[in-house]
A = this chain, B = another copy of it.
Amino acid sequence: MNSYSPTERSRVKRIHERGRYDKETVFAIVDAALMCHIGYIIKGQPYVTPTFHWREGERLYWHGSSASRMIETVEQGVPVCFTASLLDGIVVARSGFHHSANYRAVMAFGTAKLVSEADKEKSLEIFMERCFPGRWPTLRPVTKQEIKATKILSMEIEEASAKIRTGPPKDDEEDYALPIWAGVVPVRTVIDPPVDDPRVLPGVAAPAHIRGLRIG
């Protein structure tokens, strides 16, 4: 199974030719996004919480402490929408109507569960190594109390779809004759050089896993 099967829940409905369901595409977008937005319901009210995530195979993980409202109910398993989106450009057309965006987005559906106490430390290590390869062994070791205070949620992807737009605007054919500028304004997320904590000890410089940090 190299693709998710589109269902009523996951099928891209508007401009369906932008929809993609193959796992390679879905995973590439998930992995390229530094942050995600988690949608969940409490007492009929939707909530959307931004957080960091990572992926292991078909399973998504995210840091639960910033979504503590979710923690309260998640132990029974709650339906979740995981959305990762990357804005690549603003698409500027000759008519207002055809203005658009170049983007890569994934919506993934499943049931969120808490990662067990036994599995949490390993998960945290994988998360840290995803962000900063080689950093984990250099840190002050994690304590039992800290592990206890951390919540990690995980969700096996039941269904997912990706939606991608690339390229120049698509104007109405007759509008291409108009002397109006059109094109794409590229948008990027960049990482600037690291800023030392004022209390870093003298002679301790940012290591390679920080200086070489890249997004995705």
A90 touching B213, Cβ below 8 Å: yes
Q: Does A5 interact with chain B (Cβ within 8 Å)?
A: no
Interface flag for A168 (CB, 8 Å): yes
Q: Mark each residue of chain A from 41 to 79: 1 if its CB lies under 8 Å from any CB of chain B, else 0.
A: 100111111101000000000000110110000000001
What is A's interface to B at a CB cutoff of 8 Å? 9, 13-14, 34-35, 37-41, 44-50, 52, 65-66, 68-69, 79-83, 85, 87, 90, 92, 94-97, 99, 101, 103, 105, 107, 109, 124-125, 128, 131-132, 136, 138-140, 142-143, 146, 149-150, 168-169, 175-201, 203-207, 210, 213, 215
Inter-chain contact A210/B92, CB cutoff 8 Å: yes
Q: Can you list 16 A-B pairs, Cβ within 8 angstroms, ordered by A?
A: A14-B65, A39-B47, A48-B82, A49-B83, A49-B107, A50-B83, A96-B128, A97-B146, A97-B149, A97-B150, A140-B175, A140-B178, A140-B180, A179-B203, A181-B205, A189-B189
Residues of B within 8 A of A90 (CB): 131, 191, 213
Specify how many copies of this chain sit in the oligomer.
2
Interchain nearest-CB distance for A162 vs B (Å): 12
Closest to A206 in B: B181
Known: A96-B125, A138-B180, A185-B213. 19 other contacts (CB 8 A): A9-B45, A37-B85, A41-B41, A44-B79, A46-B81, A48-B107, A95-B142, A95-B146, A96-B142, A99-B131, A168-B199, A179-B201, A181-B200, A181-B204, A181-B207, A183-B196, A183-B210, A184-B195, A186-B194
